[in-house]
Structure 1
């Protein structure tokens, strides 16, 4: 996925226990986050495990 209008709902879904695994997988494959990166980073710093997984995936370049 490149990014776009789907980004904010996916980031919001990281806080939903049922949707978080799906959202994390989708975000891990997303290339164009722009400033939305900081939203995921904020969730990761707040302890959201799925946001941490997304950040690690980006750091490892696993999403491509």
Structure 2
């Protein structure tokens, strides 16, 4: 994967994470679920970015 392709993939991952994060933080989601969900999302996001960088 070229640097440009990696950049595009990382931007897409950031946008995806932002959209999901906004949905989770929406008023309809009970506050007690926010932290565990966001922590799980952050772990998945970090792993996704690492995979892009490693070309995995």
The question of a shared fold, defined as TM-score above 0.5 by the shorter chain, is answered with no
Larger RCO (alpha carbons 8 Å, 6+ apart):
2
TM-score by length of 1: 0.28
TM-score by length of 2: 0.30
Between structures 1 and 2, the one with greater helix share: 2
Bigger Rg, structure 1 or 2: 2
